[in-house]
Structure 1
Amino acid sequence: MSLGLPFQFGGEALIALTTGALFWPAQDLLVVSDLHMGKAVRQARFGGAVLPPYEGRETLDRLATDLDRTGARRVLCLGDSFDAPGLDTALPDEDRSRFLALQAGRDWIWVEGNHDPGPVELGGQHLADLHLPPLMFRHIAKGCDAPEISGHYHPKATLALRGRRITRPCFLYDSRRLILPAYGTYTGGLHSNAAAFTGLMEPNARAILTGPRMIEIPMPR
């Protein structure tokens, strides 16, 4: 299986991974957004749809595999890593131990999201955003002088392929912004033709669909 699809953004060589993670080889950095860990716990507490209890395990298995495949020694979690404030302390013991094992020997940075505003008790740095020249990282796109990488919207795109329509999570990018898909299991998504994207992305924006066979297309509008 290929690692992913290489592309250029902000003058940097990046790789969109098949799983929805982003790898920046020059910085030895793996970026993931919207893990939404603890979603099953939160919904069980507040009467939402019942989710399988292993959703966190699947997300962490995927993350461990991406770390092995890329050899990344730095990890940036780009917000909404947890589905609600305080869920970092309510994770199953297995998931918490797995997080700590993945952090061992790596620089780990948590960027705040709208679901998890503020520090979490797991190790690592906790930041509102991160400027790693020439790129700016934050949870929600808002624009700045530097090329901006964000998450939050859980983008997905649909295209016709061999007579059938397929929908997959996707990366969206133009000359100013790169928006990552949600990395977590059972996170849902927002179609690329939604008003939030058509008003945010440039007319020439591109979409990179995730999955074993990655596809890059003009952003469906």
Structure 2
Amino acid sequence: MTSSPELVLNATPIGFDFTFRGARLTALAARALWWGAETTLVVSDLHLGKSERVARRTGVSLPPYETRDTLDRLETLIAALSPTRVICLGDTFDDDIAASSLTTSDRARLQALMQGRHWIWVEGNHDPAPPTLGGDPVAELRLGALAFRHIASPDAVGEISGHYHPKARLRGQSRPAFLLDKSRLIMPAFGTYTGGLRSTDAALTALMDKQALAILTGARALPCPMPR
């Protein structure tokens, strides 16, 4: 189908390979994106510190383990892939206060993961201020034909974004999912305490063309037509 992305049909337990605007990418089952030729790992919407932010704003205490679990999973990916560049695609922190309120141990772990890598913080709507952890804060980033930003722009081409935390349902199961068409890729949320927006929601169907794919994450990456 000429309006679909050029797909390399290689679904494995690790991820789903595809070619997007000339770049060979892998949608990882672990809810991250791998660009092997650039040794670049992309993660979106970690929402670190969400339990602290919820307690601060509402007085409701959530089990304060989500930052640790999210960092555990990020550490596992970095150990497996050894990226030279990591792009955090916005809403890395649940708000700017949460970014400055990381525990000493969580801050040390994150800075250890950053060591020796080009670490890029794309600005999100939850965390517009640059974090005080090193790395390069940017409003958006362009690498070759690809543009990385937090919130999708309706007229963009070659765009990789996050923000919506998309989910899709297959065989009665709803999972975090990548959404892919010829113009854009919307990434799932990587963070542990993150909800999701169904791919059938009007905000997503308005952005994605009718031949879009959903790539469900979980035990393996499963591509299917995007439920609408």
Q: TM-score, normalised by structure 1?
A: 0.95
What is the match of residue 25 of structure 1?
Answer: 36
Aligned-pair Cα RMSD in Å: 1.3
Superposed CA offset, 1:32-56 (max 9, x none): 0000001000011112643211100
1:179 and 2:178 correspond: no
Gaps of 5+ in 1: none
What is the match of residue 153 of structure 1?
Answer: 164
Give the letter for the 2:190 counterpart: Y
1:192 and 2:199 correspond: yes
1:54 and 2:61 correspond: no
Gaps of 5+ in 2: 1-11
Paired residues, number: 217
What is the match of residue 120 of structure 2?
Answer: 109
What is the match of residue 128 of structure 1?
Answer: 139
State the shift of 1:146 in Å: 4.0
Larger mean CA deviation between 81-90 and 144-153 belongs to: 144-153
Superposed CA offset, 1:90-133 (max 9, x none): 01111111001000111100000000012110110000000001
CA contact (8 A) 2:14 2:221 kept: no
Larger mean CA deviation between 96-105 and 1-10 belongs to: 1-10
Alpha-carbon distance in structure 1 between the residues aligned to 2:120 and 2:14: 23
CA contact (8 A) 2:152 2:162 kept: yes
State the shift of 1:213 in Å: 2.1
CA change 1:46–1:16 in 2 (3 A) is same
CA contact (8 A) 2:14 2:220 kept: no
Equivalent pairs: percent with the same residue? 55
For residue 11 of structure 1, the aligned residue among 22, 25, 38 is 22
